[in-house]
Amino acid sequence: MSLLPALITVCGLLLCLSLCSPNAQYCTPRKTVPYSNDLKLFKEGGVFNYSTMLIQEDLGMMLLGAREAIYALDMSDISVKKSAVYWRVTEEKQRECTYKGKQAEVECRNYIRILHRINDTTMYVCGTNAFSPTCDFMSFERGQLRLQGMQEEGKGKCPFDPFQRYSSLMVGNDLYSATSINFLGSEPVVLRSSNLALRTEFKSSWLSEPNFVYMDFVEESVDSPDGDDDKVYLFFSENAMEYDFYSKVAVSRVARVCKGDMGGQRTLQRKWTSFVKARLDCALPEPSLPPIVQDVFLLKHKDWRESLFYTVFTPQSGLSQVSAVCAYKVSDIRHIFTEGKFKTPVAVETSHVKWVMYTGEVPVPRPGGCINSLDLPDKTLQFIRDRPLMDDAVRPITGEPLLVKRGALLSRIVVDRVQALDGQTYDIMFIGTENGYIQKAVNYGGEMFIIEEIQVFENHDAINILRLSSSSGQLYAGSEFSAVQMPLSNCSRYESCVDCILARDPYCAWDFSTGHCSSLSKPSSISTTVIQSLKEGDVSKCPKPGNYVALTPGNNVRLSCELHSNLAQVHWQFNHQPLHSNGKYYIYSGGLLILDTSESDTGLYICDSMEFINGRTYNRTMAVYNLQREYGKMSSLEVAVTLLSLLCLSLIEYVPIQNRDSETKLLGPVPGTPCISNNNHCTVDFKQNGVHRITSLANISSLNGLGYINDESEI
């Protein structure tokens, strides 16, 4: 009789887990997809840090940079290696590195940090090279990668430290880079490597212990009435100069330089004359220090003014586990830089400076503007040299975060723009997390909706890089130990019309002609046999379920009912009357248990899934049972085991359990966005018996010990 004490122990552990969960309710992704071996995976023994990617769509190739290796992989299946080049440090370089106090087998290796395309067959590649950054040209011809042996100094282009944040960008033949220019990492620089090299001024008012994150190019000269120049935008965090605290406080910034900047003639010689920066505002719902920008993606629009920077923020304090996504319009950032007020330093005490809004006269031409001439007035150059910071912060397009998440922190983001059947375009965000998940989210008129979360790394490795190929419909993710590829959509996950429509996935629609949820590759060519309802989730056009399963009633009967959405709640009917848990009926997320049945229990049992979408409740029939004949009895011990198991469930239901490493709370621009919490994920995994299947404890553990005992001899 050792089974009952074991059950009590298990229930106690489950209750302890539930007590450790937060009391607040958070929305969850509609579907959680566990790790699958079907994903395309690449890794090579002894090689780590798969964190640099370059997609060559015209060649059908993805270049992957790792520690001392560069791979040419097939874009359609990255597990297929076309070619590889190995760039290892020499023993002499490794020795020099260790003499300077670095770890030989970790830091004193060559981490590939820069991969940029020069032309159809040539790439530019840089590595840390044992704290001695070096660059080279690499060719891909006749299916083979080859380093050309034209090594050059990488200082200022590539970081010394393989674990230091950095960013780089190739514009034409000019390399823009943001990194540290010295071994200690104490001299940050934003550098343009070209025939006319420019860099930032080495002053804390320009860069104060920054962490560089992202760089991109915006062609603002296109259709510009005043002949404006193209811009390079840089995102980073640094120590705040404007906050009066006793200790250092970091803030997030966006900075800008002009492509045609030529530097100053006397003041700011070979330095940027157009460098300006502003604070990024992305307020979290909980009081905290300013969140720190971790990753950015530029979703380009044919009108550059409408282009959006999607950004991921995390807290700078380890006490909080809340991260967010904010979006900024390029035109709003531009307005701050071209029309906004500047900040200026003011001495308030001995050796103490406070930064306040500048109220004096601003020189003409305006400091920080794109005046592509060496003949700029010293007054303008001196002004921007001393006052590169704007007074106003850049606010997100919605005034608040698009998405706020509690739990495992967000790490990386990419965004795809898709045209749906309704003719509208939707921005679909793919957001990586620190525990190896991709969250797929979209905004429907102010309602942020997470379609699904997909585990892409088996051991929950942090996602260090994300890259997207819209043309091939593929997403690529890299971690410390491997790289993985997944499709942007997998419509086959939605097996029924109702599930396909309620998924509200812009990539997917229900096709009546095939009876499957199908991918939309070209919406304009789709026939009338295909339906989609993204904003409303309207399932009225779906065929009604009509499959009845006849079961035989007995003394004790269990009926399974598996829900296909984390957002759904289960409702049972008996002969079209609502059924609730009591001494005879026990309802849990895996189904219905009927004890001590009699002739009065024969009839129709219907299990409905109730899901709340965009202000409406949608009902879906998941299972229909018609109980008519005798069914085998449970033993008294089976009944005892079952009741004890259900007691565990009732305890857990009062204290929500955290069923994954992460929980999410979604915010949109419209106040009062509905948010449903599903607290019915804690179920018992009973022993399988015939066709009756009871689902396991959702995403936490499988309680295989809580099983039906078919015969007392099993004790």
- In the predicted structure, residue 26 carries a pLDDT above the cut 60: no
How deeply is 88 buried, as exposed, middle or buried, from its count of CB atoms within 10 A (0-12, 13-18, 19+)?
A: middle
pLDDT tier, 628 (very low <50, low <70, confident <90, very high otherwise): low
Task: State mean pLDDT over 120-133.
Answer: 96
Give the residue-averaged pLDDT of 10-14: 36
The domain segmentation of the chain, as residue ranges, is 3-26+545-714
Q: pLDDT value at position 285?
A: 83
Q: 675 and 666 in contact (C-beta within 8 Å)?
A: yes
Top pLDDT among 657 and 649 is at 649
Predicted local confidence at residue 23, as pLDDT? 27
Higher local confidence (pLDDT), 7 or 179: 179
Give the distance, in angstroms, between the CA of residue 656 and the centroid of all CA atoms in the same chain.
Answer: 25
Q: Determine the average pLDDT of the residues in 416-427.
A: 94
Each residue's pLDDT tens digit, 501-534 = 999 999 999 988 888 999 987 544 446 689 999 9
DSSP state of 342: B
What percentage of the chain reaches a pLDDT higher than 90? 57
Per-residue confidence band for 9, with pLDDT thresholds at 50, 70 and 90: very low
Q: Which helix (H) or strand (E) holds 91?
A: helix 91-99
Asked which of 2-16, 274-288, 621-635, 673-687 is least confident by mean pLDDT, the reply is 673-687
- Distance (Å, whole) CA 101 – CA 184: 11
Q: What is the pLDDT of residue 600?
A: 80
Q: How confident is the model at residue 567 (pLDDT cuts 50, 70, 90)?
A: confident
Ranges 48-52, 621-625, 665-669, 694-698, most confident = 48-52
Q: Determine which of 108-112, 386-390, 483-487, 571-575 has the lowest per-residue pLDDT on average.
A: 571-575
Residue 170 has pLDDT above 70, yes or no: yes
Between CA 478 and CA 461 the distance in angstroms is 9
Give one DSSP letter per residue of 15-55, joined into a string: HHHHHTS-SS-----SEEE---TTSEEE--TT-----EEEE
- Please state, in angstroms and rounded to a whole number, the distance separating the CA atoms of residues 585 and 579: 8
Q: Which residue has the higher pLDDT, 568 or 153?
A: 153
Q: What is the dihedral of CA 52, 282, 315, 33, to 10 degrees?
A: -60
pLDDT of 272 strictly over 80: yes
Asked if residue 206 has pLDDT above 70, the reply is: yes
Strands 465-469 and 474-478: antiparallel
User: Is pLDDT of 611 > 90?
Assistant: no
Mean pLDDT of 431-435: 96
**Residue predicted with more confidence, 636 or 591:** 591
Q: Is the pLDDT of residue 495 over 80?
A: yes
Q: What mean pLDDT comes out for the span 220-246?
A: 88
Q: What is the DSSP letter of 390?
A: B
**Could you read off the pLDDT of 93-103 as tens digits, one per residue?**
999 999 999 99
d(CA 84, CA 63): 9
Residue 251's pLDDT is 96
Closest CA to 307 of 296, 295, 318: 296
CATH superfamily of 3-26+545-714: Immunoglobulins (2.60.40.10)
Q: Residue 644: which pLDDT band, with cuts at 50, 70 and 90?
A: low
pLDDT of res. 301: 95
Distance (Å, whole) CA 233 – CA 215: 6
**Where is average pLDDT lowest: 100-109, 178-187, 374-383, 683-692?**
683-692
Q: What is the pTM of this model?
A: 0.78
Residue 432: pLDDT over 50:
yes
Grade residue 552 by pLDDT with cuts at 50, 70 and 90. Answer: low
Q: Give the per-residue pLDDT at 527.
A: 60
User: What percent of the chain has pLDDT above 70?
Assistant: 81
Query: What pLDDT shows up at residue 243?
Result: 84
pLDDT band at 172 (very low <50, low <70, confident <90, very high): very high
**Alpha carbon distance 234, 169 (integer Å):** 10
Q: What is the pLDDT of residue 182?
A: 94
Among 537, 531, 306, CA closest to 444: 537
| Residue 555 CB partners (closer than 8 Å, separation 6+) | 595, 596, 597, 631, 633, 634
Q: And the tokens for 422?
A: 């309704």
Q: What's residue 642's pLDDT?
A: 55
| Cα–Cα distance, 313 to 655 (Å, whole number) | 30
pLDDT attached to residue 629: 57
| Residue 528 to residue 522: CA distance in whole angstroms | 13
Asked if residue 17 has pLDDT above 60, the reply is no
Q: Is a pLDDT exceeding 90 seen at residue 191?
A: yes
Token pair of 247 as six digits: 């200790």
Q: Is 714 helix (H, G, I), strand (E, B) or coil?
A: helix
The average pLDDT across 203-214 equals 96
User: What is the average per-residue pLDDT within 75-91?
Assistant: 96
Greater confidence (574 vs 307) lies with: 307
The Cα–Cα gap between 109 and 592 comes to 59
- Whether residue 65 contacts residue 115, with contact meaning beta carbons closer than 8 Å, is answered with yes
Question: Quick check: 421 pLDDT over 60?
Answer: yes
What was the pLDDT predicted at 481? 97
Q: Across the chain, what does the average pLDDT equal?
A: 82
pLDDT band at residue 561, thresholds of 50, 70 and 90?
A: confident
Four-point Cα dihedral 593, 598, 599, 600, nearest 10: -70
pLDDT above 80 for 227: no
**pLDDT for position 649:** 52
Task: Assign 516 to helix, strand or coil.
Answer: strand
pLDDT for the residue 553? 57
In whole angstroms, give the CA distance from residue 580 to residue 485.
Answer: 45
Q: For residue 687, give every residue at least 6 positions away whose Cβ sits within 8 Å of its Cβ, in sequence order, or none.
A: 704, 707, 708, 710
Residue 131 has pLDDT above 90, yes or no: yes
